[in-house]
Amino acid sequence: MKKSLLLITICIFVIACGNSENSKAEGTQTEAITNEKEAAPAVTESASSACSFVTESKIKEVLGIPADAPTEMKDVMRTYPTCFYKWESVMFSTKRTIAGKEVSLDFPAEVTIVLVNNASEKMFETSTKVYKDGEVQDGIGDMAMWGAQMSQLTFLAKGTMIHLYVKVSGDSAANKAKAVELAALIIEKL
């Protein structure tokens, strides 16, 4: 009986020691993969970053946001390269009717730029079908459409389609004017 217990104990130690080495190897492999992922976005961002078209300071200037306002910026790769800007310190109010009462709601100023390289007119038409209130915009790239409900301007220029979400005011016309101004700056960089 004592020999059996001794053998079982030795087996447990051998298994435990073997698992420790496997864990170290797995940890090293996971670390290598993490390092590759950290290095990869830098290459991707420099090649096709949606944030590279207009500087943060120029965006603030166009939108009328104070230069010293802190910016939350995210440059990410989703289906397409996307750049998110948000200013929590710059709020705008909008009125909505909730349960029969008109209320004023505050939201932070936001801009999103989505970059679609090698886009065609067919892709543009497919993308803009979701605009229930779409208005064709002349003078912006090859084709452009504004959707007030979505507060988004989609335009096609030089084989690139850009979705430009601008929400800095409760007034749709003001958002549209800012989006058109930003679109002109982006087209210059294409």
* Structure confidence by residue, pLDDT tens digits, 85-123: 999 999 999 888 889 999 999 999 999 999 999 999 999
Same domain, 40 and 104: no
CATH number at residue 180: 3.40.1000
Same domain, 23 and 70: no
pTM greater than 0.85 (yes/no): no
Q: What is the mean pLDDT of residues 17-30?
A: 40
pLDDT at 53: 85
- Give mean pLDDT, residues 19-40: 35
**Residue pair 114/163 in contact by the 8 Å Cβ criterion:** yes
**pLDDT > 90 fraction of the chain, expressed in percent and rounded:** 64
Give the mean pLDDT of the chain. 81
35 and 124 housed in the same domain: no
Instruction: Say if residues 162 and 115 touch (Cβ distance below 8 Å).
Output: yes
Say how many domains are in the chain.
2
User: Which of 17-26, 63-72, 83-92 is the least confident region?
Assistant: 17-26
* Separation between Cα atoms, residue 71 and residue 65, nearest integer Å: 10
Are 85 and 141 in a shared domain? yes
**Do 126 and 145 have their domain in common?**
yes
